[in-house]
Amino acid sequence: MATRVVVDPVTRIEGHLRVEAMLDSDNKVHEALSSGTMWRGIEVILKGRDPRDAWAFAERICGVCTTVHALASVRSVENAVGITVPKVAEIVRNIMFLTQMVQDHVIHFYHLHALDWVDVVSALSADPAATATLAQQVSPHWPKSSEGYFRDTAATLKKFVESGQLGLFANAYWGHPAYKLPPEANLMAVAHYLEALKWQKELIKIHTVFGGKNPHPNYLVGGMPCSIDLQSDNAINIERLELVRAKILEARDIVEQLYVPDLLAIASFYKDWAAIGEGLGSYMCYGDVPQNGIGDPAHFRFPRGAILHKNLGEVLPVDPTHGDEILEEVGRSWYRYPEGKAALHPWEGHTEAHYTGPKPPYEHLDENGAYSWLKTPRWKGNPVEVGPLARMLVGYASGRADFKAVVDGALGKLGVPATALFSTLGRTAARGLESQLAVGWLQDEYDRLIEALKGGDNNTADTIRWEPATWPKDCKGFGFTEAPRGALGHWIHIQDGKIANYQCVVPTTWNASPKDAQGRRGAYESALIGTPMADPQKPVEILRTIHSFDPCLACASHVYGPDGRELAVVEIG
């Protein structure tokens, strides 16, 4: 009988994810289930509300990627009613977006994913002098690389261990045979973990400058809710903009002198993972960071497109508004569609909870029935992976010189072929390489902003079509972005100035979806197939591949009517 490994909950992620993996006699995964175990009901909450308020609700779908849902939401309304945001507002949105991406990727690498590769307890046996030598080789321009610095880090870590409370580093599989780093590399990584933890709160000050706060900065249908005047005391002035510039330069140091060097150093010990976790081999992204308006994808810094079956010789066009290009199924999900409907485009999407799973607590799910609160989206009928790897591959296959430079450079340093990208290691590396591009673009966008302001353009909002009386009586819109975890789409249907329907297809819905009607797996499930496990009781190998996607499961919601009366509560243990 096959061994079934259950990981529930998968930790170091946002939300609640359960993974069940069935192993063959060689302890390799031959079947896998990915189950989102809590329900998101934001779409239901939004029905009947003012579309101009939608972003504030939608932004709270996630507490991690705190800005991207708001961006997709305001874009959906603008697309529906025919608003074009001013150039300066578009640049500010780009800065907000890139800030989120860089901060999120650094946090993911050091605080959510690194511990799948780094043995914290092993760091206690490291020689601080040898660690300093290693660090100076890996990151020669990073200032904190002295023997004393690493001796102090080791002493701090030792206090954690001797107290019996590992704190940040508790509940892991320390000593697992799958860990390969020498003690000095482990100590270096722990030290940089702590550095990144202190730094990450600094970059998001950019959100407070332009959006008022973080998490969940403010947005505005028609632009951005901020005033910019270089000489004013009551608006974003040159002093505030200098703060933004300083935080961008700090971010470049973190990404270029710490994150990417650490990534390549750790990856050099795990080259075998360039052949594990391939997954679907098909990828899709909407693109973002517009340079000539949101309606001109040809001039996005992240290009739009799809790649099927690892064919880097062809990037296929993507049109998320086409009626049958993106469809969602619920055959393996705990939802119910109207009778006769097997798949729906998000504009016609339907969110009706229908739990048919086992009564908690339960030992395992039924792979032959419904087993997740996630729907099953497909692009032109194909399961596709979204996220940093998809974006890097589409950019690379599109012939973009900036993408090719960072990808080919990393492959050369690791001494691995381009096929290594189709793997858990490639997925992890893509996030770091994308950060390298994003932090450079962040500085470029800042320079564009300063140039526009010096030219006298400081218009941050177009309010000509603010009032619903100026809108069509019945209209639909599509808003999108590339969230840190992948392609994010919001589809809105507006009737008589109110939201008639609202549907979100989030990155983890694409990646963590259950099987479709044809039995084809989603990206998580597919990537786990063939994964070897040294010890099924300590499934660090499963965590490596799942964490390489940076899961962000939707949050649970209670549903209330406009009078505050509770309509439904869905609780899954």
Per residue in 72-91, pLDDT tens? 999 999 999 999 999 999 99
Domain endpoint, select from 463, 487, 512: 463
Q: Quote the pLDDT of residue 553.
A: 81
Q: Which helix (H) or strand (E) holds 135?
A: helix 128-138
- Its sign, for the CA torsion 78, 79, 82, 84, is positive
H or E element that contains 162: helix 147-162
DSSP secondary structure letters along 337-358: PPTT-SEE-GGG----B---SP
Distance between CA atoms of residues 483 and 72, nearest Å = 9
**Is 26's pLDDT higher than 60?**
yes
pLDDT at 513 over 50: yes
What is residue 126's predicted lDDT score, i.e. its pLDDT? Answer: 97
Q: Residue 555: its pLDDT value, please?
A: 43
Residue 559 confidence (pLDDT): 31
- Please calculate the CA angle 236-240-241 and round it to the nearest 5 degrees: 90
pLDDT at residue 567, as a whole number: 32
Q: Output the pLDDT for position 408.
A: 96
Same domain, 22 and 69: yes
Same structural domain for residues 173 and 231?
Answer: yes
pLDDT at 165: 64
- If asked whether residues 563 and 433 sit together in one domain, one would say no
Same domain for 69 and 8 = yes
Same domain, 197 and 216: yes
Phi, psi of 19 (to 5 degrees): -125, 130
Residue 115 has pLDDT above 50, yes or no: yes
Query: Does one domain contain both 350 and 430?
Result: no
**Amino acid of residue 532:** P
Instruction: Please give the pLDDT value at position 565.
Output: 36
Domain end (from 413, 442, 463):
463
Give how far Cα 429 sits from Cα of 289, 372, 408, Å: 21, 29, 12
Number of domains in the chain: 2
In terms of Cβ atoms closer than 10 Å to its own Cβ (0-12, 13-18, 19+), residue 71 is buried
* Encoded tokens for 378: 């497909």
In a domain, 418, yes or no: no
C-beta of residue 559 within 8 angstroms of C-beta of residue 571:
no
- Alpha-carbon distance of 11 to 13, in angstroms, equals 5
Same domain, 109 and 208: yes
Pairwise CA distance, residues 76 & 90, whole Å = 15
pLDDT at 138 over 60: yes
Task: Kindly state whether residues 101 and 207 are assigned to the same domain.
Answer: yes
Do 201 and 129 lie in one domain? The reply is yes
pTM of the model: 0.94
**402: in domain:** no
Domain-located, residue 48: yes
Backbone angles phi, psi at 252, to 5 degrees: -60, -40
Q: Are residues 235 and 372 in the same domain?
A: no
CB distance 433 to 260 below 8 Å: yes
Amino acid at residue number 483: A
Say which residues have a Cβ less than 8 Å from residue 268's Cβ, sequence separation at least 6: 414
Residue 307 lies in a domain: no
CA distance 254 to 261: 10
372 inside domain: yes
| pLDDT, average across residues 444-471 | 97
Task: Let me know whether 365 and 433 are in one domain.
Answer: no
- Split at pLDDT 50, 70, 90, the class of 42 is confident
Share of residues in the chain with pLDDT > 90 (%): 83
- Residue 339 inside a domain? The answer is yes
> Domain containing 556: what range?
1-76+312-389+471-573
Q: Which letter does DSSP use for residue 297 in this model?
A: G
Does residue 37 carry a pLDDT above 60? yes
pLDDT at 526 over 60: yes
Burial class of residue 198 (count of CB atoms within 10 Å of its CB; 0-12, 13-18, 19+): exposed
What's the CATH number where 487 sits? 1.10.645.10
What is the distance, to the nearest Å, from the Cα of residue 202 to the centroid of all Cα atoms in its chain?
A: 20
- Higher-confidence residue of 28 and 2: namely 28
Residue 252: its pLDDT value, please? 98
Look at residue 302 and give its three-state secondary structure: strand
Backbone angles phi, psi at 326, to 5 degrees: -120, 120
Say whether pLDDT at 309 is over 70.
yes
- Could you tell me if 181 and 266 are in contact, meaning their C-beta atoms sit under 8 angstroms apart? yes
Residue count (the chain): 573
Q: Which two tokens stand for residue 98?
A: 């890139």
| Residue 555 is assigned to a structural domain of this protein | yes
Domain C-terminal end among 436, 463, 490:
463
Nearest in space to 417 (alpha carbons), one of 319, 312, 327: 312
Q: Is the pLDDT of residue 561 over 50?
A: no
- The token pair at 76 is 């959906």
Does residue 573 have a pLDDT over 60?
no
Per-residue pLDDT at 554: 55
Distance of CA 126 to the CA centre of its chain: 34
Q: Which of 374, 381, 378 lies closest to 333, judged by CA?
A: 374
Q: With a cut of 70, say whether residue 108 has pLDDT above it.
A: yes
SS3 letters across 36-52: ECCCCCHHHHHCCCCHH
Is residue 495 included in any domain, yes or no?
A: yes
Q: Give the whole-angstrom CA distance, residue 445 versus residue 119.
A: 38
Task: Give the CA distances from residue 213 to residues 27, 191, 290, 553, in Å, rounded to whole numbers and listed in that order.
Answer: 48, 29, 24, 23
Q: DSSP letter string over 230-291?
A: TT-SSSB-HHHHHHHHHHHHHHHHHIIIIIHHHHHHHHTT-GGGGGS--TT--EEE--EEES
With vertex at residue 39, the alpha carbon angle to CA 38 and CA 43, rounded to the nearest 5 degrees, is 155
Confidence label for 370 from pLDDT (cuts 50, 70 and 90): very high
Measured CA distances, 215 to 62, 65, 220, 558 (Å): 10, 9, 16, 21
Instruction: Report whether pLDDT(66) > 90.
Output: no
| CA–CA distance, 182 with 151 (Å, rounded to integer) | 16
pLDDT single digits (tens) 144-190: 999 999 999 999 888 877 776 666 666 678 899 999 999 999 999 99
Return the DSSP state at 161.
Answer: H
CB 279 within 8 A of CB 381: no
Q: When comparing pLDDT for 158 and 428, which is higher?
A: 428
Instruction: Name the residue among 293, 287, 330 with its Cα closest to residue 488.
Output: 287
Mean pLDDT of all residues belonging to the chain? 92
| Amino acid, single-letter form, for residue 333 | S
Kindly state whether residues 110 and 208 are assigned to the same domain: yes
Q: Is residue 465 pLDDT above 90, yes or no?
A: yes
Higher pLDDT, 164 or 448: 448
Instruction: State pLDDT tens for residues 235-266.
Output: 999 999 999 999 999 999 999 999 999 999 99
- What radius of gyration, in Å, describes the C-alpha atoms of the chain? 24
> Does residue 571 carry a pLDDT above 50?
no
